[in-house]
Amino acid sequence: MTDPNRPIGFFDSGVGGISVLKQAVRLLPHENFIYYGDSLNAPYGSRPLAEIQQLTFDAVDYLLSRNVKAIVFACNTATSAAVHLVREKHPDLPIFGIEPALKPAVENTEGGSIVVMATETTLKEQKFAQLMDRVARDRHVVKLCCPGLVELIEEGKAHSQETLDYLSDKFKALDVPEIKAIVLGCTHYPFILSPLRQVVGPTPLIFDGADGISRHLQNVLTQRGLLSDRQEPGEIHLINTSGDEKLLELSIALLTAQDPPMSDPPLDMETLGS
């Protein structure tokens, strides 16, 4: 019998997936979580596909060695590159892959254009083309690849002038008349929400996939009898492959900051590598 009190594994190329982890913790406060942030190898988005796949397999193997009961790919890039391969390899393991929240953006807006901000890999892989075909056929969707933005966030510069200038230049160059919605198709980007708002103004609706995947996780664990029966709050264990304390500090700051405030679960940290 599977022990429902085993942890849930999360992974991302770096600190971005913490935006998803936060939402999952809100929904599932009695679960234990292990978060594997691969900042040593970030960004994934402009790497060759085979490299992203290998890094993803390594992350999955690590999480399995920690006896997780499910794995959440809190990384759009890894989902597009490798989720199908990992599912083939581990058919009995519940695996969840985040995808750009294009569907809610389509459902909640009419006319104009929808801008999807994501990495090069996410925007060029087949998974995104299939998603567009499924949910946004009759809409004007603009793909906005943002190389360099993940690096700014990993460096703790999410709210810097540099990030504001970056976003401002990106949207100026875009020249799209009526932006109705912006989809944050990379899990790092919710952390630049306020400079993004400064640049695009109050009108466009902004979507990310954290809530959708967290609800899906909750539903599947419930259906499979895999929800923890713990009464007390669960623990979050943060791992960062960079071996750099600064990245762990940044991870904690991102996890504990932001609105709406979340209850503070006990934190436990670890670094991998030197």
In sequence order, what are the beta bridge partners of 95? 71
The amino acid at residue 172 is: K
Q: Which of 7, 37, 45, 265 binds ligand DGL (CB under 6 A)?
A: 45
Q: Near ligand DGL by CB under 6 A, which window of 29-37, 103-111, 182-190, 220-228? A: 182-190
Separation of alpha carbons 25 and 46, rounded Å: 30
Residues 6+ apart with CB under 8 A from 47: 55, 121
Q: Which of 24, 25, 40, 42 binds ligand DGL (CB under 6 A)?
A: 42
Q: Is 63 in the site for ligand DGL (CB under 6 A)?
A: no
Q: Is 113 in the site for ligand DGL (CB under 6 A)?
A: no
By beta-carbon proximity to ligand DGL, the closer residue of 23 and 76 is: 76
- Smallest distance from the beta carbon of 198 to ligand DGL, in angstroms? 22
Residue with tokens 């895999």: 226
Q: Which residue is nearest to ligand DGL (CB)?
A: 45
- Smallest distance from the beta carbon of 234 to ligand DGL, in angstroms? 23
End-to-end CA distance of the chain: 37
How distant, in Å, are the alpha carbons of 25, 188, 210, 235, 260 from that of 263? 9, 22, 18, 12, 10
Residue with tokens 């599932």: 28
Q: Is 214 in the site for ligand DGL (CB under 6 A)?
A: no
Q: Near ligand DGL by CB under 6 A, which window of 168-176, 186-194, 197-205, 239-247? A: 186-194
Q: Near ligand DGL by CB under 6 A, which window of 64-72, 75-83, 109-117, 127-135? A: 75-83
* Preceding amide of 260 cis, omega within 30: yes
Positions annotated as catalytic residues are: 75, 186
Q: Near ligand DGL by CB under 6 A, which window of 72-80, 159-167, 227-235, 255-263? A: 72-80
- Smallest distance from the beta carbon of 96 to ligand DGL, in angstroms? 13
Contact 183, 116 (CB under 8 A): yes
Q: Is 242 in the site for ligand DGL (CB under 6 A)?
A: no
The residue among 210, 219, 222, 232 whose CA lies nearest residue 31 is 232
Number of residues that bind ligand DGL (CB under 6 A): 17
Stretch 7-36 residues interacting with ligand DGL (CB under 6 A): 12-14, 16
The residue among 79, 89, 70 whose CA lies nearest residue 12 is 79
The strand order across the sheet containing 70-73 reads 95-97, 70-73, 8-12, 33-37, 236-240, 267-271
- Smallest distance from the beta carbon of 18 to ligand DGL, in angstroms? 10
Binding site for ligand DGL (CB under 6 A): 12-14, 16, 42-45, 75-77, 119, 122, 150, 186-188
